[in-house]
Amino acid sequence: MRFPARRRWLLRRLLTVIHQLLGLLGGGLLAHARSLPPEWRHRRSHWPLRLAAALVERGLDSELVDLSFATQLRYRLERLGPTYIKLGQILAVREDMLPHAITDELKNLFDQAPAVSFSIIRALIEAELERPLTELFLHIEEQPLGSASLAQVHRATTRDGQAVVVKVLKPGVRELVLVDLRLLGWLGVVLKPFIPQYEILAIIEEFRSYTTRELDLTVEADNGDIFTAQFEQDPAIVFPVMHRELSTDSVLTMEFLNGFKPGAPATFALEDSERMQIAHLGARAILRMLYQHGFFHADLHAGNLLILPGPPLRIGFIDLGMVGRFEEQTRRRLLYYYYSLVNGDIDKAAQHLCEIARPGPGGGDLAGFRRSVVELSQRFLLRAARGEFSIARLILESMRLGGRHCMYFRVDLVLMVKALVTFEGVGRMVEPELDVVAISRTHIERIFREQFQLKRFGRELWRNGPELLDLASRLPELLVQSGHRLESTPSVSSTQHTLVGLRGAIVAAACIIGGVLILLQSEGWLVGGGLLFAGWWIYWRGD
């Protein structure tokens, strides 16, 4: 009985992955045996290891046999193709979970991949857009601007003379990646019992989520539109305009941003004031993405940021396929964390970071993690006094401590650190004497103040109106329940504590309900806002 073609392909791909995985395990065994001190290698207790290493060495690829485990891992990911290259790039930023030797080596995974022949790209564009290329563009360059593992980009000119770039998903890559993601899910199930500390299934699921979005170029077009809308009131921060009429899920046509990368010779031809302006624009853009909008460029590096010469001087962001998202509660916690950090409030910063972390399998040591974060932050602040300080490095090292205490962070948070590293690196690239803490404090305090503007506060309260009205309707029931608990309280001290809590709940509920009722009548905004704020304050204080 013959397997259908799709199943045969899946089986071949599975065998290829297993072959590379076994080779990696063998290479790791050999590297471990060679790393032992000479006096240990000849102990009788190590003869099974020496025998296994000798047998493995005969079967390993001669090109890899003398390399370190981290280097072998990088080479084997490259051999497995685009899915595993992307996986390696994600793992490279997980410095909070993986050893430095591995993350440092994986950062060398190439960004440039072999380009597909233009004749194939031409046929794909024409098939997707259902018209001859000459009817779609006045001109398109055959030599690509860049070729990555999933797609390649060509510069072109539209029929109405606009300069654009055309991003094309490489033929067959979508099918290959989807098969690989399926196999990775199986692999994760197999590896989970052996490496539970790395939460392998969570990493694979996060990777699957990011990668499948990158396989649909309409998602990148949507990302560009969202960024443009969010920075509509800030024309100095630019994102490419998407040409939807020339785009599909496999072809994306977008505006060509004519600028230069930070660190290019043109950067140092700018005036000192202009370079400082670029540093402020970068800080403003990245910090607003992270802590105001909770929607940020998740593949941010100097190559994806452009300086657009003026007048006026602007900065532009490109390659928007990979974005991170924070839900509202996480975004607020991160805002409070970063605000506390740049203002030197170590204890409060540690508190907010602990509230963001999640315990690993079997629970985590939250108290120990918090103590370690405070101690680490104190050491970093001592360096700040000597002018040696990196906020991004402090956050990353704090997250790394989480692994020791079985407290973990989702990949979005690590990609946030990558964005901060870019902010610091680009800022110091254009202005070597840049005070990262001072510029961060300037922009984060502005975001913090905007967070609590009366107009925004009113919108938030209005959005939560149904929940507050539900509280109002249930207040009698809640008071009766509190009274029953009070009657059943045996001790005097407990009774006093319950009375205090009951009094606070009643006053807080009354203030909240009164505020909502006034707001719902579309008048008395100041009174309503005051009552709501008083209710929140009393409830939060608990007295």
pLDDT tens track for 149-159 = 899 999 999 99
Give start and end residues of each alpha helix (H) in 405-491: 411-430, 436-451, 454-463, 465-487
Q: What is the pLDDT of residue 385?
A: 56
Give dist(CA 353, CA 339) in Å, integer: 12
Q: Is 306 helix (H, G, I), strand (E, B) or coil?
A: strand
Q: What is the pLDDT of residue 157?
A: 96
Q: What is the pLDDT of residue 229?
A: 96
Give dist(CA 476, CA 457) in Å, integer: 27
pLDDT tens track for 413-448 = 888 988 888 888 888 888 888 888 889 989 999 988
Contact 30, 71 (CB under 8 A): no
Long-range Cβ contacts of 299-303 (<8 Å, 24+ apart): 299/415, 300/418, 300/419, 300/422, 301/418, 301/422, 302/261, 302/262, 302/263, 302/422, 302/425, 302/426, 302/429, 303/111, 303/261
Return the residue matching tokens 């204080």: 541
pLDDT < 70: residue spans in the chain: 1-6, 36-50, 110-112, 195-198, 384-389, 452-543
DSSP 490: -
Give dist(CA 438, CA 532) in Å, integer: 34
Q: What is the pLDDT of residue 202?
A: 77
Q: What is the pLDDT of residue 289?
A: 95
From residue 238, how far is each of 8, 439, 504 by CA, in Å? 47, 21, 49
* CA proximity to 305, closest of 278, 277, 273, 269: 278
17: number of Cβ within 10 Å: 20
Give dist(CA 504, CA 514) in Å, integer: 15
Q: Is 362 helix (H, G, I), strand (E, B) or coil?
A: coil
